[in-house]
Amino acid sequence: MRILGIDPGVATVGFGVIEAQAGRQQMIQYGAITTPAGQPLAARLVQIAQDMETLITQFQPDEMSIEELFFSKNITTGIAVGVILYTAERLHLPVYEYTPMQIKQAVVGYGLADKHQVMDMTRRLLKLRSIPRPDDAADALAIAMCHARSATSLLRRKDPDVKETV
């Protein structure tokens, strides 16, 4: 299964593409969509939508995973998440959302792990020479790995904390 992991934002949207099979994950590509700070929000959202469509078309993921956002904390990022979810829905890509604690638990084995622990375990589990940069890309790979582990679980459909947004 090919999974596109997304760490949402307006200035930077991290992405990570992995191939997951038989309990193993392999990194395919990672990076970030960036939008210029001086641009109007609407223009930035259009760019995010276009770049997301390009990613989905280029890598043909089977599913997408994204960090669940608490809209009350950052409404602008919430709007960007809406654009990302809309683009995935328009392209018929199933989307799964995970909380930061679920991601940390899946990657590190401890839901209160710090950011550096998650990034280092992502590097180790994907057998990478260094931690992916920018940090948003490393986070996106961790989100994809979280979904890979969840997607193979028999409990996946029964866990009320795993939200399928499709």
Active site residues: 7, 67, 136
Tell me how far CA of residue 70 lies from CA of 75, 76, 94, 154, in angstroms.
9, 11, 20, 27
**Residue whose token pair is 């328009």:** 90
What distance in Å separates the CA atoms of residue 34 and residue 14, rounded to the nearest whole number? 9
Q: How many CA atoms lie within 13 A of 136 on its CB side?
A: 15
In order, the DSSP letters of 49-81 are: HHHHHHHHHHH--SEEEEE---TTT-HHHHHHH
Q: If DSSP codes are grouped into helix, strand and coil, which group holds residue 130?
A: coil
Per the CB < 8 A criterion, the answer to whether 51 and 36 are in contact is no
